[in-house]
Amino acid sequence: MAFLEIVLHCSRTELVNRQAGKSDHPRTSEARLWLATIAELRTRSDDYADLLDPDERARADRFRFDADRERFVLGHGFLRETLATALELEPSEIRYGRGTHGKPFIEGHSVRFNFSDTKDSVLVGFTKGVDIGIDLETMTRRVDHDAVAGHYFTGEEVAILQALDEHARKRRFLEFWTRKEAVLKASGVGIMEDLKEMRVLDGSNSMRASHPDLVNMAAGAYHVRTFLIGDAHIVSLAAPEPLDVTWIR
């Protein structure tokens, strides 16, 4: 069996200062992130629906619940609108390619991007030439933290959670969860069952990856930054090199 040694450098959680700025081409070693609520985007619903390509429209139609369909349309319309400014294209002109596990990319452009959503908000991030993964979660998410942690977290992570009160445990759980998800998305794997191989405590964490897809696709190191946005949302970003982060309103 093949293995890959990976080091995960996880920074302490930062409070976000969302800045006014342009969605033009990012600088080298910079990630630009946009967070928008569903409520903020809702007035653009018809416009965004018109931007989607046939595949996106088919995916939207498969959602059973109206709220999920709305979030998909608004999120992917917002993604196209944001990328279009950086690429100097019309939003409807953007054509996506897909990686081995479905991660989208734009052929012929140095911009690398990622997308995440939660029940009330969406998140877009992109860089110049650096593959990234981003994950967004809401603090109001209802989940059995003990059950999920027991299945996906390392023993050290579980012990840390068990020592905290309910509010602090929820925040720490989401910090760990978004870090793991961001690393998987940055690698292009997307989903991996055995997340117990991946320790994401503050500081540097070594892991010996055995999942074949992670072994074949991951970098040897990831730099992970986590952000608390107000008291409602947590975001993690992972990249194979350190990145400055600019939050755009």
Domain ranges of the chain: 4-243
The pLDDT value recorded for residue 23 is 56
For 48, the token pair is 């965004």
Look at residue 249 in the predicted model and tell me its pLDDT: 67
**CA trace torsion 116, 193, 100, 181 (10° rounding):** 30
3-class DSSP assignment, residue 70: helix
A 10 A CB-CB count for 70 gives 18
Sole residue written with tokens 């993690």:
236
**Helix (H/G/I), strand (E/B), else coil: 188:** coil
The CA distance from 102 to 69, in Å, is: 20
User: pTM for this one?
Assistant: 0.94
User: Which architecture, in CATH terms, is 4-243?
Assistant: Alpha-Beta Complex (3.90)
Query: Which residue type does 67 have?
Result: A
Query: What does the buried/exposed string (b/e) look like for 44-66 if buried means 16 or more CB atoms within 10 Å of the residue's CB?
Result: beeebbebbeeebeeebeeeeee
Dist. CA 80–CA 95, nearest whole Å: 10
At 57, list the tokens: 């429209």
Q: Are 218 and 237 in contact (CB under 8 A)?
A: no
| Integer Cα distance of 107 and 97 in angstroms | 7
Q: What's the number of CA atoms in the CB half-sphere (13 Å) around residue 107?
A: 5
- Angle, vertex CA 127, rays to CA 173 and CA 84, nearest 5: 110
Block means of pLDDT (10 residues each) for the chain, length 249 residues? 91 80 70 95 95 95 96 97 91 89 86 95 95 94 84 94 92 96 91 80 93 88 96 96 91
- Alpha carbon distance 87, 82 (integer Å): 9
